[in-house]
Amino acid sequence: MKPRHFLSLLDLTAAELKRLMKRAMELKSMQQRGKRHTPLTGKIMAMIFEKSSTRTRISFEAGMAQLGGTSLFLSPRDTHLDRGEPVEDTARVMSRMVDIIVIRANSHAMVERFAAHSHVPVINALTDLNHPCQLLADIQTYLEKRGDISGKKVAWIGDGNNVCHSWISASHQFKFRLDIATPEGYEPKAEWVSACRKHVTLHHDPKLAARDSDIIVTDTWASMGQEHEKAERVGAFSGFMVDNNLMKLANRDALFMHCLPAYRGAEVAAEVIDGPQSVVWDEAENRLHAQKALLEFLLTRPAK
Ligand code: CP
Ligand code: NVA
Q: What is the CATH number of the domain that holds 17?
A: 3.40.50.1370
- Tell me the pLDDT band of 303, cut-offs 50, 70 and 90: low
Q: Give, as one character, the DSSP assignment of residue 240.
A: -
Query: To the nearest whole percent, how much of the chain has pLDDT over 90?
Result: 97
Same domain, 125 and 180: no
Same domain, 30 and 138: no
Q: Which domain holds residue 26?
A: 9-130+285-300
What confidence score (pLDDT) does residue 301 get?
A: 80
Compute the chain's Rg from CA coordinates.
19
Same domain, 255 and 150: yes
Question: Is the per-residue pLDDT at 302 higher than 80?
Answer: no
Question: Is the per-residue pLDDT at 277 higher than 80?
Answer: yes
What confidence score (pLDDT) does residue 304 get?
A: 56
The ligand 1 site (C-beta within 6 Å) comprises 53-56, 126, 134, 259-260
**110-150 pLDDT, tens per residue?**
999 999 999 999 999 999 999 999 999 999 999 999 999 99
Same domain, 203 and 276: yes
Report H helices in the chain: 14-32, 55-66, 87-94, 108-116, 132-146, 162-174, 190-195, 206-210, 230-236, 244-247, 270-273, 280-300
What is the reported pTM?
Answer: 0.98
CA of 267 to the centre of ligand 2 (A): 13
Same domain, 267 and 227: yes
d(CA 215, CA 284): 16
Q: Which residues are catalytic?
A: 104, 131, 134, 219, 259, 287
CA of 51 to the centre of ligand 1 (A): 10
CA of 268 to the centre of ligand 2 (A): 15
Same domain, 191 and 74: no
What confidence score (pLDDT) does residue 259 get?
A: 98
Same domain, 66 and 155: no
Mean predicted confidence (pLDDT) in 52-77: 97
Same domain, 43 and 178: no
